[in-house]
C-alpha cells in the first residue's frame, strides 16, 4: 500500500496546544483499510485524532504515530449514522443537523475526532458521545483483530471508555440519532457555541480544553479558582485569566513549561483541599527525567 508517511514531522500545527514536538514517523492513512493495515504491521504505534487533548513532548516521539484525520467517511441511513474515526465531530454535528437528527448538538463547539471522542467519552452541555452510540468497530492491538463492541461493551463513564484499558483503537462508530426539528437543533447548536464563546478560550489561544478532570461532585475550575491559579504562569504557559482549568500556550511554551504549570496547579489544590486532581490532557512522547517525575506525580490517585 502506498501510505503517506512523513519523517521528522513537527506535529505542532496539528495540535490545539501548538507545542512543537518532532515525530520520527508520522503516518496519514487515507482509508480505514490503510489504517487497519498500519495497525496490523506496526508495533507500538501511537494513534492520534484531532490532537485536541494531547500534550506532545517537546523532545518529540521516537515512535510511529498514526494520524486518523483522513479516515473521515460519514454515511446517513435514515436515523442511523456511520462515522469513521478521523471525522471531526463538528462536521458530524453540522451534517446531523442538515439531516434533522438531534443528539450531536454538543459536538459543534470543540475540535475532537470521532475516535478521540469515543476513546474519551467526550461530553458537554448534558450530552455525551455515548448517548446514542450503538456500536464501535475497534482494532484490538493485543490480538490484532477487529471487534464490534456495543455501547454496553464499551463501559462508558465520565471521560472513560474501555478502549483506554484494553488497547482498543476506534475505527468507526455507528449511532441511532433521534429525528428532531432542524430549527430546534440549530438553536441548540447556536446556544452551545455562545456558551463556549463566553466561558472557554478560542483556539486562537492555543489550549487543550480542560486540563484536569472534575473530581466527584466538584469542579476542577472552582477549586483552582479558589487557590488563585489564575495568577500562575511558567515560561510561555499561563492559566487563562477567565477560567482556572485552562492553560494557554501564549508564547512558544514547551511541554516542560506546561507540565511544571500543571504541577503548581495540582499542588495548590492538594495543599488547600487535600484533593488530588487528575489530568484530563494526555501527555505523550519522549519524557525527560524531570517530565517523567512530574507526570508520575500528576497521574497518582
Ligand atoms: C477548546 C477545546 C474545548 C474542549 N471542550 C471539550 C468538551 O467540552 N468536552 C470534552 O469531552 N472534551 C473537550 N475538549 C477535549 C478534547 O476535544 C476531547 O478530549 C476529545 O475527545 C479528544 O479528541 P481528539 O480526536 O482530539 O483526540 P486526540 O487529542 O488526538 O487524542 C486523545 C486521546 O485519544 C486517543 N485516540 C485518538 N483517536 C483514537 C482512536 N481512533 N482510537 C483510540 N484512541 C484514540 C489518543 O491516543 C489519545 O490518548 C476540548 C478541547 C479543546 C481544545
Looking at every residue in the chain, the average pLDDT score rounds to 96
Domain ranges across the chain: 4-67, 74-198, 220-299
* Per-residue pLDDT at 1: 81
At 19-71, the pLDDT tens digits run 999 999 999 999 999 999 999 999 989 999 999 999 999 999 999 999 999 99
Read off the pLDDT band of 300 (50, 70, 90). Answer: confident
Q: Judging by DSSP bridges, how do beta strands 22-28 and 61-67 pair with one another?
A: parallel
Q: Compute CA 54 distance to the chain's CA centroid, rounded to the nearest angstrom.
A: 7
pLDDT of 244 strictly over 90: yes
From the CA of 104, how far away is ligand 1's center (Å)?
A: 16
**Ligand 1 residue neighbourhood (C-beta within 6 Å):** 16, 47-54, 68, 85, 110-113, 115-117, 119-120, 122-124, 163, 169-170, 200, 203, 207-209, 282
pLDDT of 80 strictly over 90: yes
Q: In a mutational test of the pocket of ligand 1, which residue from 65, 90, 92, 119 has the highest number of ligand atoms less than 8 Å from its CB?
A: 119
Read off the pLDDT band of 301 (50, 70, 90). Answer: low
Cα dist. 75→28, 82, 84, 95 in Å?
22, 5, 9, 10
The three grid cell numbers given for residue 58, joined into one nine-digit string: 517537546
Residue 222 is a catalytic residue: no
User: pTM of the full predicted structure?
Assistant: 0.97
At 132-158, the pLDDT tens digits run 999 999 999 999 999 999 999 999 999
Closest atom, ligand 1, to C-alpha of 16: 53
Question: Average pLDDT for residues 64-86, to the nearest whole number?
Answer: 98
**Topology match between the domains 4-67 and 74-198:** no
**Fold (topology level) of 4-67:** 3.30.43
Question: Average pLDDT for residues 282-298, to the nearest whole number?
Answer: 94
CATH of domain 74-198: 3.30.465.10
- Alpha-carbon gap, residue 238 to 250, rounded angstroms: 7
- The answer to whether residues 245 and 224 touch, using CB atoms and an 8 Å cutoff, is yes
Please, which residues have CB within 8 angstroms of residue 280's CB and are 6 or more apart in sequence? Answer: 53, 159, 209, 210, 211, 212, 213
CATH of domain 220-299: 3.90.78.10
From the CA of 164, how far away is ligand 1's center (Å)?
A: 12
Question: Average pLDDT for residues 245-258, to the nearest whole number?
Answer: 97
**Ligand 1 atom 14 nearest Cα:** 209
Question: Average pLDDT for residues 232-256, to the nearest whole number?
Answer: 97
From the CA of 268, how far away is ligand 1's center (Å)?
A: 26
Task: Considering the candidates 58, 159, 161, 255, report the single residue annotated as catalytic.
Answer: 159
* Per-residue pLDDT at 142: 95
At 201-227, the pLDDT tens digits run 999 999 999 999 999 999 999 999 999
From the CA of 86, how far away is ligand 1's center (Å)?
A: 11
Residue 137 is a catalytic residue: no
Q: In a mutational test of the pocket of ligand 1, which residue from 86, 88, 108, 122 has the highest number of ligand atoms less than 8 Å from its CB?
A: 122
Burial 12-39 (b: 16+ CB within 10 A, else e): bebbbbbbbbbbebbbbbbebebbbebb
From the CA of 115, how far away is ligand 1's center (Å)?
A: 8
* Per-residue pLDDT at 204: 94
Give percent above pLDDT 70 in the chain.
Answer: 100
Q: In a mutational test of the pocket of ligand 1, which residue from 120, 126, 137, 205 has the highest number of ligand atoms less than 8 Å from its CB?
A: 120
Amino acid at each position: 500500500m502506498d501510505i503517506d508517511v512523513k519523517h521528522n514531522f513537527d506535529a505542532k500545527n496539528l495540535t490545539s496546544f501548538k507545542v512543537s514536538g518532532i515525530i520520527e514517523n508520522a503516518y496519514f492513512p487515507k482509508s480505514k483499510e490503510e489504517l487497519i493495515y498500519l495497525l496490523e504491521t506496526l508495533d507500538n504505534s501511537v494513534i492520534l485524532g484531532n490532537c485536541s487533548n494531547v500534550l506532545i513532548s517537546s523532545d518529540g516521539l521516537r515512535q510511529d504515530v498514526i494520524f486518523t484525520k483522513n479516515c473521515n467517511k460519514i454515511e446517513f441511513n435514515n436515523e442511523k449514522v456511520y462515522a469513521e474515526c478521523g471525522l471531526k465531530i463538528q462536521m458530524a454535528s453540522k451534517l446531523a443537523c442538515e439531516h434533522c437528527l438531534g443528539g450531536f448538538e454538543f459536538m459543534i463547539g470543540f475540535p475532537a475526532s470521532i475516535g478521540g471522542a469515543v476513546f474519551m467519552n467526550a461530553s458537554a452541555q448534558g450530552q455525551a458521545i455515548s448517548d446514542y452510540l450503538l456500536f464501535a468497530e475497534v482494532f484490538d492491538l493485543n490480538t490484532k483483530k477487529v471487534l464490534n463492541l456495543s455501547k454496553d461493551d464499551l463501559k462508558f463513564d465520565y471521560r472513560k471508555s474501555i478502549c483506554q484499558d484494553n488497547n482498543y483503537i476506534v475505527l468507526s462508530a455507528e449511532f441511532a440519532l433521534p429525528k428532531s426539528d432542524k430549527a430546534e437543533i440549530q438553536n441548540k447548536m447556536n446556544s452551545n457555541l455562545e456558551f463556549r464563546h463566553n466561558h472557554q478560550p478560542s483556539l486562537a489561544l492555543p489550549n487543550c480544553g480542560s486540563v484536569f478532570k472534575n473530581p466527584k461532585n466538584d469542579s476542577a475550575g472552582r477549586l483552582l479558582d479558589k487557590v488563585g491559579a489564575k495568577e500562575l504562569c511558567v515560561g510561555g504557559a499561563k492559566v487563562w485569566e477567565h477560567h482556572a482549568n485552562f492553560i494557554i500556550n501564549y508564547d512558544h511554551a514547551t511541554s516542560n513549561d506546561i507540565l511544571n504549570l500543571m504541577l503548581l496547579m495540582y499542588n495548590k489544590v492538594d495543599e488547600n483541599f487535600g484533593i488530588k486532581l487528575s489530568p484530563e490532557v494526555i501527555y505523550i512522547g519522549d519524557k525527560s527525567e524531570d517530565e517523567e517525575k512530574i507526570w508520575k506525580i500528576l497521574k497518582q490517585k
